[in-house]
């Protein structure tokens, strides 16, 4: 199977937020997609692990086994948080500590390293954006916006995640703050916002300066039979 097919399968998994399962001892667990809330929760833990990203890119197993040998309990904690699906579970201290202890007592170094590799190599948002053409479209929009003449409007705010992401997602989709932070995977949240349809009105002169035309990109329409065929062709198993 070629790389593009694998990427389509990964994107399908991201859309349906498919968890990855693993077993330790006589128990089975799932690694759930990271939400914005879980990402912030894990940020300090990831910093304390001092993951060498350069080594992860070349030999993820080597870095994973090093982390297990030097910071085993932190690795168990990281894995544990990824097995928590809801906000309630994440903040259940007894549940978290019991699972950390179970993993520490029952998983050998090889088991933990294998699970850790899944977590260290899970971030593929930038790859998805490039594969789907979202990155190129964002660059195209930036070029168009850069030549747009000042119309006298002034924009304020958007200086932090509160305005640039949280308020935007809540207002655009009608979601609660709790859902944006804990209810949807961060990769889906990023891709939805990045690929949302935007319209920028330009004069012919401005379009010429930006080196774009009104017809040099494709928009996949939901009512299009071709779009549905493309969606159905993706591997959802």
Q: Which pLDDT band, with edges at 50, 70 and 90, does 43 fall under?
A: very high
Query: Left, alpha or beta for 174 (phi > 0: left; psi -120 to 50: alpha)?
Result: left
Mean pLDDT of 119-146: 87
Q: Are residues 136 and 204 in the same domain?
A: yes
- Structural tokens at position 48: 């304390």
Q: Are residues 30 and 60 in the same domain?
A: yes
Segment among 11-20, 87-96, 205-214 with least mean pLDDT: 205-214
The rounded percent of the chain whose pLDDT value lies above 90 is 65
- The H or E element spanning position 29 is strand 27-31
Q: Are residues 171 and 115 in the same domain?
A: no
List the alpha helices (DSSP H) in 50-92: 53-58, 60-70, 72-82, 87-90
Instruction: State the pTM of this model.
Output: 0.82
pLDDT per position as a tens digit, 16-29: 999 999 999 999 99
Q: Are residues 79 and 178 in the same domain?
A: no
Q: Are residues 30 and 13 in the same domain?
A: yes
Position of tokens 């899970």? 122
The counts of H helices and E strands in the chain are 16, 2
Q: Are residues 25 and 98 in the same domain?
A: yes
pLDDT of 23: 96
109 is in which domain, residue-wise? 3-120
pLDDT per position as a tens digit, 56-103: 999 999 999 999 999 999 999 999 999 999 999 999 999 999 999 999
Q: Which is more confident, 191 or 227?
A: 191
Cβ atoms of residues 134 and 191 within 8 Å: yes
Cβ atoms of residues 226 and 3 within 8 Å: no
pLDDT of 199: 76
- Label residue 180 exposed, middle or buried (CB < 10 Å: 0-12, 13-18, 19+): buried
Cβ atoms of residues 33 and 128 within 8 Å: no
Q: Are residues 158 and 220 in the same domain?
A: yes
When divided into structural domains, the chain yields a total of 2
Q: Are residues 165 and 81 in the same domain?
A: no
- Structural tokens at position 150: 């000042």
What is the overall mean pLDDT for the chain?
A: 87
Q: Are residues 146 and 52 in the same domain?
A: no
Q: Are residues 214 and 159 in the same domain?
A: yes
How far are the Cα atoms of 23, 41, 53, 213 from residue 30, in angstroms, in the given order? Answer: 9, 18, 24, 47
Domain final residue, candidates 87, 102, 120 = 120
Max Cα separation, the chain?
Answer: 68
Q: Are residues 70 and 161 in the same domain?
A: no
pLDDT per position as a tens digit, 27-41: 999 999 999 999 999
pLDDT at residue 1 greater than cutoff 70: no
Cβ atoms of residues 113 and 168 within 8 Å: no
Cβ atoms of residues 32 and 83 within 8 Å: yes
Domain final residue, candidates 104, 120, 136 = 120
Q: Are residues 49 and 73 in the same domain?
A: yes
Domain final residue, candidates 120, 142, 163 = 120
pLDDT at residue 147 greater than cutoff 90: no
Q: Which is more confident, 219 or 12?
A: 12
């Amino acid at each position: 199977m070629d790389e593009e097919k694998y990427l389509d399968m990964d994107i399908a998994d991201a859309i349906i937020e498919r968890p990855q399962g693993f077993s330790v001892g006589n128990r089975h667990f799932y690694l759930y997609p990271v939400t914005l809330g879980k990402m912030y929760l894990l940020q300090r833990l990831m910093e304390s692990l001092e993951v060498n990203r350069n080594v992860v890119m070349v030999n993820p197993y080597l870095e994973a086994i090093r982390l297990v040998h030097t910071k085993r309990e932190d690795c168990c904690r990281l894995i544990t948080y990824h097995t928590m699906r809801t906000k309630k579970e994440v903040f259940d201290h007894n549940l978290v500590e019991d699972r950390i202890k179970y993993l520490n007592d029952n998983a050998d170094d090889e088991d933990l390293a294998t699970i850790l590799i899944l977590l260290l190599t899970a971030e593929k948002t930038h790859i998805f954006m490039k594969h789907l053409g979202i990155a190129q479209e964002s660059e195209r929009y930036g070029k168009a916006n850069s030549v747009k003449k000042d119309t006298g409007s002034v924009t304020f705010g958007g200086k932090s995640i509160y305005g640039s992401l949280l308020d935007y997602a809540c207002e655009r989709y009608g979601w609660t703050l709790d859902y944006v932070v804990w209810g949807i995977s961060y990769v889906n949240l990023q891709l939805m916002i990045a690929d949302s349809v935007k319209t920028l009105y330009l004069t012919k002169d401005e379009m010429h300066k930006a080196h774009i035309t009104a017809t040099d990109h494709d928009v996949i329409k939901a009512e299009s039979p071709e779009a549905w065929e493309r969606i159905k062709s993706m591997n959802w198993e």
